[in-house]
C-alpha cells in the first residue's frame, strides 16, 4: 500500500521515508490458543486469498476454530467467513462490535460492497453472531478496546497472559512507513479520517510508553513487533516475533 491511498499526503515526509513509493504490506490474520479454544482474529479476503491455506499449513482445519473475532467489517477482514455462500467456520461463534455491525447493516453507508458483504455474513451465520462492546472481555485473555475512525466500530484487541501483553492493532496503520513518521496522515479507506488519526496517535503513544508488542493486519508479514516513539511525534517499528 503506497502514497496513492493517503489523504493529503505530506510530500516531504513521503519522499523522506518511502523512496519510489515502496511500502511493503500484507493482509494478516492471527490465531490465539486459549485453553482448548482456537480463536481466529479476522479472516482475510476469502475466495482467492491465502488465509485458509495458511491456516492449514499452521495445522488448523476451519472446523477447529471455536471463535472468530472481527476487528471491523471491511472485505479483507470478513471475506474469509463465507465460501460458495456457505459458512467456512461451521463450529465457530463470530464476535463483532455492536456499533460496527449496526453501521453496516442499518445505515446508508456509502460503501455498498462492504454493506452487502456484512449482510451476507449476517444471513449465513445468523445467531452464531454475537456482538460485544468496547471494554468487554471476549475470553479471559482477550479484551476489546475502542479505536474508531477507520470504521465506526473499529476495534483493537489486548491479549494478556502470564504477565505479558500484545495489542492487535487491526487497521490502525496501512502505509506503515508514512504513518509512523506522521501519525496524522489517514487513508482513503477511513470513514472518519480525523478520528482515525486520533486513535492512531493515542494507541501509538500508549504502546510505546508501555513497550507493548503489537500485531497489525497490514504490517508486512508476520506483522508483529514493537512501536517506539522517536522525536517530534514520530515513531519507528521494529519487528519482534519471538516471545519468552
Measured distance CA(28)–CA(221) in Å, rounded: 7
CATH architecture assignment, domain 3-239? 4-Layer Sandwich (3.60)
Return the number of other C-beta atoms located less than 10 Å from residue 124's C-beta: 16
- The whole-model pTM stands at 0.94
Extents of the domains making up the chain: 3-239
Measured distance CA(89)–CA(68) in Å, rounded: 8
Q: pLDDT 10s per residue in the chain (244 long)?
A: 888 999 988 888 898 898 888 888 999 999 999 888 999 999 999 876 788 889 999 999 999 999 999 999 999 999 999 998 999 999 999 999 999 999 999 877 778 889 999 999 999 999 999 999 999 999 999 999 999 999 999 999 999 999 999 999 999 999 999 999 999 999 999 999 999 999 999 999 999 999 999 999 999 999 999 999 998 889 999 998 765 4
Closest CA to 87 of 104, 112, 59, 65: 65
User: What single DSSP character describes residue 173?
Assistant: -
Amino acid at each position: 500500500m503506497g502514497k496513492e491511498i493517503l489523504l493529503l499526503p505530506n510530500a516531504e515526509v513521503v519522499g523522506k521515508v518511502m523512496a519510489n513509493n515502496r511500502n511493503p504490506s500484507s493482509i494478516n490474520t492471527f490465531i490465539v490458543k486459549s485453553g482448548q479454544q482456537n480463536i481466529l482474529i479476522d479472516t482475510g479476503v476469502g475466495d482467492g486469498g491465502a488465509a485458509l491455506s495458511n491456516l492449514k499449513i499452521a495445522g488448523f482445519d476451519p472446523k477447529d476454530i471455536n471463535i472468530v473475532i472481527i476487528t471491523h467489517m471491511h472485505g479483507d477482514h470478513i471475506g474469509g467467513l463465507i465460501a460458495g455462500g456457505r459458512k467456512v467456520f461451521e463450529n465457530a461463534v463470530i464476535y463483532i462490535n455492536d456499533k460496527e455491525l449496526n453501521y453496516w447493516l442499518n445505515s446508508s453507508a456509502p460503501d455498498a460492497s462492504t454493506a452487502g458483504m456484512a449482510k451476507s455474513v449476517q444471513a449465513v451465520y445468523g445467531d452464531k453472531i454475537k456482538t460485544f462492546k468496547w471494554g468487554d472481555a471476549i475470553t479471559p485473555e482477550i479484551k476489546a478496546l475502542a479505536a474508531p475512525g477507520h470504521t465506526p466500530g473499529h476495534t483493537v484487541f489486548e491479549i494478556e497472559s502470564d504477565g505479558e501483553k500484545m495489542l492487535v492493532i487491526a487497521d490502525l496503520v496501512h502505509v506503515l512507513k508514512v504513518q509512523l513518521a506522521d501519525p496524522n496522515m489517514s487513508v482513503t479507506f477511513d470513514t472518519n479520517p480525523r478520528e482515525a488519526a486520533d486513535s492512531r496517535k493515542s494507541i501509538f503513544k500508549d504502546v510505546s510508553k508501555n513497550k507493548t508488542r503489537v500485531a497489525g493486519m497490514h504490517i508486512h508479514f508476520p506483522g508483529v513487533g514493537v512501536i517506539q516513539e522517536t522525536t517530534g511525534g514520530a515513531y519507528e517499528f521494529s519487528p519482534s516475533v519471538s516471545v519468552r
